[in-house]
Amino acid sequence: MANPQSGEVSVVIDGRAQTAKLTLGALAEMEASLGDDSLLAMVERFESGQFRSRDVLAVLVAGLRGGGWRGDTGDLLNADIGGGPLGAARSAAELLARAFRFA
């Protein structure tokens, strides 16, 4: 079960709840996958509602890997994500909000 107080989000992948968390290592991995794009630019796209599907996928993969999942982007391409594309976007936005909230 995900613990929101520690930045965790529950994401349902193919009917199984997975814990996702944007750890520093997961963020670094995600940043490397973004290439020339910056993490800040991606966060700004989420804040403005102008995010891309690849942004959602990058955040979910990083968060799931930060939560201990051993899959990769290819594993999510054909996966059934709880709530569909909108649910995936909500989970990604929630991960970012929890990772960057200030106490």
Count of domains for the chain: 1
Other CB atoms within 10 A of residue 18 CB = 21
Nearest Cα residue to 9 out of 65, 86, 91, 73: 91
> What predicted TM-score, i.e. pTM, was given to this entire model?
0.90
Domain containing 15 equals 4-99
According to the model, what pLDDT value does residue 2 have? 83
The tens-digit pLDDT sequence of the chain (103 residues) is 788 888 899 999 999 999 999 999 988 888 888 777 788 888 888 889 899 999 999 999 999 999 999 998 999 999 999 999 999 999 999 999 998 875 5
According to the model, what pLDDT value does residue 58 have? 93
